[in-house]
Structure 1
């Protein structure tokens, strides 16, 4: 890796470090925070569903910002929005506000995250290409997972400990503060290398153009389409399981007030993520095709999730949690690299946002449904049901594999991942 590409990677990793540290202060206690504010399980996960609904609503408009104004501008807007809405979340908890206010602010939180989705990865890939980087993307995305895993470990442990020592609201204030620091850092160091914003269209026309390009380079290309269509099942279940494991582990431990155990759940996942990020490129190298890695990890994730729901032993749940986090982390960089190598540079942020949109759609429907299942039958049963829902996405991954796209076996970054096979459409 040359010095210019190394600097791009370093900025990317620092952005991930700061963002994940800020977010992870509340990851270990978010569900407990919502329940402490007076929400039921159904309302807590419905609030999360409104968050993902916000991501669905705003993915395309914010994709316009990333592809027409700039990736840096999109990142800065996301940081400002997230810091403000996190502070509002703290106020709602303080006031024990009714559910309607939680729904509204959750939608605005979703808006903040849509400014990030697609834009940061697109900034990285474009800047690496501009800097002359030609190696595989799995290595860079894998390092990203290692950094986010370390940040997640530190933030989730601190968040749980601080919540237990003070109250459940303090980690949210810490999150808002770190986001302000990241805003200043990105304003100084980020530059849109290898990307020239197209500002020739007005916002409404640009939105229509972005939507049309998302469909053309996403849903109309079969190898990309099937990967995107698998996202609602894996993402919806994954987000629910992450947050449901907080109170579930407290139930298994026998101490419902041990908030540090909730932080431990996120910390355990972060360590598994570090291991997965380190080993993802090596595991990918064992298999000829990227889809083999993704499908294998997905099937393993489903089996482990069902086992998690069936166990009544705290220590076994921790072991299964480590395994679940590891296979999730292995699949992530490989899936990212597979998608990026199938998308042209000009539409990269747009299609990645479109993929995120479909993942968010899963969260809109899956989270409240599984939250209701937890109210009726317990967290364990809801996790088993979640595993069965995730299973629905596996045939879509096999359908993408059957297209035999060159990106399924490619190992080097291409500046423009335009289709090479007319049968890909």
Structure 2
């Protein structure tokens, strides 16, 4: 196997593993915790606080990836993910689950930005828009494949025991840990030797990343960050309202959520290629604007749905369009990142996402309690429309 094929295989394997985890967490985490008798607001508060705690680890983990080794950062990530979900599987008391849930978010901080930074630099494709878009498109297909398998795993495992979904996530991350340890190579990356400890290195990387963000040449990055903030809030509102809408308003049995997640992933398998084709032909501005307007309309249709069939149809549209948006948006970010601090800029983007997501989840929890499930979903749709206008008027018309 050539180095390029091996690099892509490992990257796609990581995406596949993330897809399994996201499918099960996306569909079942909130419903699982509710089934244990936990109230909605403590659950959504945990989600929000955990994400904020993750923010504190973004630059230290980015420093490890940019200064020392992206492989080391990724190995730490997948091992901690194994420990975190094993703990959630073993315990059912809220205050014991809390530290393990937080550990899972910290584990993600070690991975965010590191995997794509490793692959882009190893393949020497920085600033090559078409190759970056293609890499993210194929990675997204494997992520969707993970969603499909995760959905099937959840569907069959729940029949045995709801708790076993967390063991499944733990074991898949442990397998990926050993794959990275055994097969990952780092090329075209030189560790930076500095006399400072990791805390000081983190401050240095944070300063470099913020300096890059506010530089006069990087308006495009600031627009992407600003739009990404509102986009993350929108999907947080929807992710909280959606499973409650299906199970409480439309009476879908919780065990079918996982199977539905797998079905939606099958329908979205071609979505990365849609995003890739649009980015190749139109750049980033028009595809992001059009896709976001479409997903906003789909969210509103979902919120007003009176039948399960219409809700699932609207949810399918949201899922397909979201995947296409992710491909275009991630490609746009990495197109304007510099390789020297690519992982740290990825951490900065993750911080932006984490703050928006935690704020969105917390407000969504309040919205469900005080405004109702439907209104919470509609607020998410409004934020999506806002994001589309930010990209329409802020991004460049053409990207070479």
Q: Shorter-normalised TM-score: what interval?
A: over 0.9
CA distance in 1 between partners of 2:321 and 2:221 (Å): 22
Name the stretch that deviates more: 110-119 or 9-18: 9-18
Relative to structure 1, the CA distance from residue 161 to residue 374 in structure 2 (aligned partners, 3 Å threshold; closer, same or farther) is farther
Query: What are the within-5 Å matches in structure 2 for residues 8-407 of structure 1?
Result: 8-93=7-92, 96-98=93-95, 101-129=96-124, 135-163=130-158, 165-202=159-196, 203-220=198-215, 221-255=218-252, 258-287=253-282, 289-402=283-396
CA distance in 2 between partners of 1:199 and 1:244 (Å): 47
8 Å CA contact 2:130–2:280 kept in 1: the answer is no
Once the two structures are TM-superposed, the CA of residue 223 in structure 1 deviates from its matched residue by: 1.0
Once the two structures are TM-superposed, the CA of residue 130 in structure 1 deviates from its matched residue by: 7.5
Q: Structure 1 regions of 5+ residues with no counterpart? A: 411-425
Whether 1:409 and 2:399 are equivalent positions in the alignment is yes
CA distance in 1 between partners of 2:346 and 2:393 (Å): 19
CA distance in 2 between partners of 1:19 and 1:320 (Å): 24
CA distance in 1 between partners of 2:267 and 2:351 (Å): 26
RMSD between aligned residues: 2.3
CA distance in 2 between partners of 1:112 and 1:5 (Å): 27
CA distance in 2 between partners of 1:142 and 1:215 (Å): 28
CA distance in 1 between partners of 2:134 and 2:125 (Å): 18
CA distance in 2 between partners of 1:118 and 1:212 (Å): 17
Relative to structure 1, the CA distance from residue 92 to residue 152 in structure 2 (aligned partners, 3 Å threshold; closer, same or farther) is same
SS in 2 for 1:29: helix
| TM-score, with length taken from structure 2 | 0.92
CA distance in 2 between partners of 1:391 and 1:116 (Å): 30
Once the two structures are TM-superposed, the CA of residue 299 in structure 1 deviates from its matched residue by: 1.7
CA distance in 2 between partners of 1:342 and 1:10 (Å): 25
Deviations 1:12-52 (Å, cap 9, x if unpaired)?
A: 11221133224434432111111122221222222211231
Once the two structures are TM-superposed, the CA of residue 102 in structure 1 deviates from its matched residue by: 4.6
Once the two structures are TM-superposed, the CA of residue 10 in structure 1 deviates from its matched residue by: 1.8
8 Å CA contact 1:50–1:106 kept in 2: the answer is no
Name the stretch that deviates more: 262-271 or 169-178: 262-271
| TM-score, with length taken from structure 1 | 0.87
Q: Structure 2 regions of 5+ residues with no counterpart? A: none
SS in 1 for 2:124: helix
